[in-house]
Amino acid sequence: MDDADHSTDTRPLITADELAERLAGPEAPALLDVRWQLGGPSGAEEYAAGHIPGAHFIALDSELAAPPAGAAGGRHPLPDPEVFGSALRRAGVRADREVVVYDAGPATAAARAWWLLRWGGHPQVRVLDGGLRAWTDSGRPTSDETPADEKGDFTPRPGALPTLDADAAAALAAGPGLLLDARAGERYRGETEPVDPRAGHIPGAVSAPTTDNVGPDGRFLSPEKLAARFRALGADDAPALGVYCGSGVTAAHEILALTLAGYRAALYPGSWSEWSSTDRPAATA
């Protein structure tokens, strides 16, 4: 594929080999490291210890989300466009420049960044399939040098991807639409709830853990396998699709998998952390 083809490449995933080629070329993408995990080590500390050369760190909790404000919006509300845009511009994101995002794998945090950039109107955003693990497994180096701030020009204009509020999520789950719950099965069934106020799920929602979107190597399954998965969950028979998780992070991973499979779905950003903070009903089983 030549450079002209790259400039219009809108595939949502990129391999480590393709990324290395792009970074060595004349039109290198803006590269964002968004490592994060719930209750895990700081992504900033991991970034400082070693990252793909040229990558800028973006903090999920403070730059890919707004501060929590009670029940409304859940644990990771959608970010203030000014804060989000400032972080992107510092990392060199331009409207006419491809953006590649990655995390440690399997792309749960990276998918949040992908979704937000697409929601904000950026046309060329790709996720490194397999994350940093795929990069290092291919024998490529990491760096502990922090690149200088850049001067991007991208200004997010929210609304390019669909979202749901709690009422819309409830209506979708009630049918004939399909609302997917991207959390682990035990949280969906109400057997455990390690983070949010109550256990259970939105009545009518269907369990679809994000862990089933990827293989043992942390890379996404083929579009054909993903399509078969979502077809079995009822996606082909639903006039509209929506996804939620705990706080709107891993749900973006599900939407990326659905996109790869050829489906379009809306995100419920508040997700279970918002829903369970209210008196709305919770189902178990």
Q: How far is residue 164's CA from residue 180's CA, in Å, rounded to a whole number?
A: 12
Give Cα separations from 25 to 3, 18, 21, 156, 256 (angstroms): 8, 11, 6, 26, 27
Environment class of 65 (CB within 10 Å of its CB; exposed 0-12, middle 13-18, buried 19+): buried
Contacts of 284 (CB under 8 A, 6+ apart): 189, 190, 199, 200, 201
Q: Are 170 and 280 in contact, with CB atoms under 8 Å apart?
A: yes
- Residue 118 token pair: 């697409």
d(CA 77, CA 183): 17
Q: Which residues participate in catalysis according to the annotation?
A: 245
- Cis omega (within 30 of 0) for bond into 106: yes
